[in-house]
Amino acid sequence: MKQLVVNFTKQLAEAIAIGNKQTFKTKKNNFHNIVLSGLGGSGIGGSITQNYIADSCSIPFIVNKDYFLPSFVNNKSLVIISSYSGNTEETLAAMQQAIKMKATIICITSGGKVEELAKKHNLDCVIIPSGMPPRSCLGYSMVQVLYALNHLGYVKKSFEKDLKAAIALLTKESKAIQKEAKTIAKKLINKMPIIYAAADFEGVAVRFRQQINENGKMLCWHHVIPEMNHNELVGWRKKDPNQAVVLLRNTTDYKRTQMRMEINKEVFKQYTKTIIEIHSKGKSYLERAFYLIHLTDFISVDLAELNKLDPTEVKVIDYLKGALAKAK
């Protein structure tokens, strides 16, 4: 797993090459909405994309992480099916519904039943490299979402320049990123991480939480600012040295949000001594997002090493899938 994290920039470069080679059959249309359906490592790229295009996409873009599509999906909807394995139970169910609803469908997968269905129904299907844990393939899947949206006119081509800048930034900062990750992991060991970020970086915060869950084998939670100032902040009432706050920060965060973060820190200090701030680098949203993702991915595998655990192992998920298969 750690080597897969190390190779993230190579993955991004390969994803760009895949995106440029892809020829889409789907034509530009007067779509009324876009729904990306995917879970876990296959769906998180959709969440980050949702944040990224929120202030520029001309139609609603939502992420679906369930068996069922929203009832508004119809022949004026674009549905992006994202399943790394191609066999994700919930995503396959959503795909079958999208077909019945006569939505326009674009698939992103490494194969499996999603590829089979795409061929059967003559759908666009972007094939990405197989054989890796889905959570280690965010670069492959998310980049293909961006290329699909660019083809249809919902994302400007400048995203590609920002991706290449992100690769250059992460390559340049590689040693510093890994050093900072090790320092932070040591502060988080045997603690409950509580992750906070600005609302438009929630996808990145969720990614960090999920990586701590799967790679670090630890529970944690996240929330966003300003929303948590209207509820969760009141829950800070008891001193607990085992809680560790992690703030994901950007110099571009809205000034009132940054002000809230500073005030929140004063509240947190009354109840825990461990308050960690991770500052992004980069000029564009994608640079900053991928910087934070790369750094926090390293934190998650470093936590596994400190806990003397295999970051790749997900036996409990395998057990769940096996039990569900028997119950069919």
- Active site annotation includes 151: no
Query: Which residues have C-beta within 8 Å of that of residue 90, sequence separation ≥ 6?
Result: 39, 65, 66, 67
Phi, psi at 280, each rounded to 5°: -75, 165
Tokens of 321: 């899938």
Active site residue 115: no
The phi-psi region of residue 264 (left if phi > 0; otherwise alpha if psi is between -120 and 50; otherwise beta) is: alpha
How many other CB atoms sit within 10 Å of the CB of residue 223?
A: 18
Question: For tokens 């194969």, what's the residue?
Answer: 111
Report the relative pairing of strands 124-127 and 77-83 from DSSP bridges.
Answer: unpaired
What's the one-letter identity of residue 203?
A: G
Asked if 38 contacts 65 with a C-beta cutoff of 8 angstroms, the reply is: yes
Find the catalytic residue in 113, 265, 279, 321: 321
Gap between the Cα atoms of 266 and 45, Å rounded? 33
> Are 303 and 185 spatial neighbours (Cβ–Cβ below 8 Å)?
yes
Which 8-state DSSP code applies to residue 11?
A: H
Contact 104, 73 (CB under 8 A): no
Q: Is 131 exposed, middle or buried (0-12, 13-18, 19+ CB in 10 A)?
A: exposed
Catalytic-role residue among 90, 115, 160, 214: 214
Q: Look up 202 and say whether it is catalytic.
A: no
Q: Which of 230, 238, 315, 328 is catalytic?
A: 230
Dist. CA 223–CA 239, nearest whole Å: 19
Instruction: Tell me the catalytic residues.
Output: 214, 230, 321
